[in-house]
Amino acid sequence: MIKPFRGGIRKGGLNALSGGSIAITSMTPKPVQQLKKREVFHENNSNPSSDDESDVDDRHPPRPPKTRRSSSGVIAAAMAPYVTEFDLYEPQSADDRELPIQKIAVVGSGSWGTALGRIAALNAAEKKGFDHEVRMWVREREIPGQGLLTDVINSTHVNHRYLPDVPLPHNLVAVSELADVVKDATLIVLVVPHQFLTPVLEELSKPGVLTTGARAISAIKGVEVAGSEIYTFPWLIEKKLGIPCSALGGANIAMEVAQSEFCETTIGVPSKDDAALWHAVFDSPMFRVHPIEDVAGVSLSGALKNVVALAAGFVDGMGYGGNTKAAILRIGLLEMAAFTKEFFPSSSSLTFSHHSAGVADLITTSFGGRNRKCAEAFIKTGKTFAQLEHELLKGQKLQGVATAEETYQFLHARGHFIVTQIQPP
């Protein structure tokens, strides 16, 4: 069911607050290993077994190098019952419903695709209602001295290029032919770099390639601009493939997700059915999924936050402090919401102000992401972004720069934008 926005706390008082506050009540440091069972669980906690620490530790080996108290399950356990109030679907477990067995395909195998594939495969192996095998599309190539890349991934269960040192579940199978990857798949995760999306959709839209009744989700960041028109990737995918498409976004730095640092993610869905299914695919104790009814908001936030992160990097590069950076983030967040609301009127400003895909993603990206890093270097070194992409990103493109150019061109084509340039003296 869709929960109405109430803007306050859940009826029944402040019970829901206990989750986020546990650390504060303990005023002397103690070994962090066991969380006392709460007397009252959140009444809508759909997965109470996620508090089971042995399960957490088994599935999520602790990250090796950092200094850390023993159990990675503490934060997950503390936060598991916390469900936000705002504009949220309450996902039903797919297990409870009469559904055909779901088969997951992951189209893409960069760091983010592999991290998402890992989580989906762990869930497919464990939850009812899923085909055990999750296929992941890998662009085939020869690895010198080791053979084909798919064979290397399938024998070592590591994606050495994009997620080195992260063991992958054996039921995540690398496949080189796109048609084989999506064969019989009912749930298709699209996570290719956005310049590859058009040829991928071309291939998938051929007759007989997709299964009837399949659904897609986009984890691709960016927007598609054509003159004075702007499109989200889920919209393009729906149009081209004729299937419903959701959007996934949140404060999710890929390597941290792969190493089972606790995080949250937001899924913008077009329907309740999509909410339940994608929640089942991705939700796990260390990766909490909150579905909301705003595909456009999740898509746009994921794209525009990279532009604000560039501004945050400029602030860092120019030597300004925390006050200025916080002002840039606050105003940037309002701008992101305003832009989205202007051109996608059905979107919700709550997506930006309350959800992981909004404010949390912006914070993470503006402090830790590569757009911020390159923007700081841009100010300090005077090099072009093209140079910095070559030197710092091994030739990968900075999404913030591309999105800034595209949204600028779009706004200009719409006659909205006022050109303001910083001029030499």
By CB under 8 A, is residue 392 in contact with a second copy? no
Q: Based on the residue annotation, tell me whether 305 is a catalytic residue of this protein.
A: yes
Beta-ladder partners of 225: 230
Nearer to a second copy (CB atom), residue 1 or residue 422: 422
Q: How far is the CB of 21 from a second copy (least distance, A)?
A: 7
Q: How far is the CB of 152 from a second copy (least distance, A)?
A: 28
- Cα separations (Å) of 385 from 51, 243, 342, 395, 413? 45, 37, 29, 11, 24
Q: How far is the CB of 275 from a second copy (least distance, A)?
A: 20
**Among 66, 144, 394, 395, contact with a second copy (rule: CB under 8 A):** 66
By CB under 8 A, is residue 327 in contact with a second copy? yes
**Among 51, 53, 73, 79, contact with a second copy (rule: CB under 8 A):** 79
Structure tokens given for 102 = 């779901």
The active-site residue, picked from 305, 325, 341, 373, is 305
- Find the helix or strand (DSSP H, E) in which 247 lies: strand 245-249
By CB under 8 A, is residue 88 in contact with a second copy? no
Cβ burial 20-45 (10 Å sphere, 16+ → b, else e): eebeeeeeeeeebeebeeeeeebeee
Stretch that binds a second copy, among 66-74, 159-167, 187-195, 201-209 (CB under 8 A): 66-74
Helical segments of 165-294, H only: 178-182, 197-204, 233-241, 254-258, 272-282
Q: Site residues for a second copy, window 222-251 (CB under 8 A)?
A: 251
Stretch that binds a second copy, among 49-57, 189-197, 291-299, 354-362 (CB under 8 A): 354-362
Q: Report d(CA 286, CA 73) in Å as an integer.
A: 8
By CB under 8 A, is residue 378 in contact with a second copy? yes
What amino acid is encoded at 402 in this protein? A
Closest CA to 234 of 190, 272, 286, 184: 190
- Find the helix or strand (DSSP H, E) in which 267 lies: strand 263-268
- Cα separations (Å) of 278 from 124, 246, 374? 12, 9, 33
- Find the helix or strand (DSSP H, E) in which 364 lies: helix 361-368
**Among 74, 88, 163, 190, contact with a second copy (rule: CB under 8 A):** 74
Nearer to a second copy (CB atom), residue 168 or residue 304: 304
**Among 2, 353, 390, 396, contact with a second copy (rule: CB under 8 A):** 353
**Among 16, 122, 188, 277, contact with a second copy (rule: CB under 8 A):** 16
Q: Report d(CA 223, CA 297) in Å as an integer.
A: 12
Q: Site residues for a second copy, window 260-299 (CB under 8 A)?
A: 261-264, 288
By CB under 8 A, is residue 410 in contact with a second copy? no
By CB under 8 A, is residue 128 in contact with a second copy? no
DSSP 89: B
Q: Report d(CA 217, CA 278) in Å as an integer.
A: 8
**Among 104, 236, 307, 398, contact with a second copy (rule: CB under 8 A):** 307
Nearer to a second copy (CB atom), residue 185 or residue 263: 263
By CB under 8 A, is residue 384 in contact with a second copy? yes
**Among 170, 330, 390, 396, contact with a second copy (rule: CB under 8 A):** 330
Q: Report d(CA 115, CA 286) in Å as an integer.
A: 13
Nearer to a second copy (CB atom), residue 244 or residue 400: 400
By CB under 8 A, is residue 208 in contact with a second copy? no
Task: Look at strands 245-249 and 172-175 and give their pairing.
Answer: unpaired
Q: Catalytic site residues?
A: 305
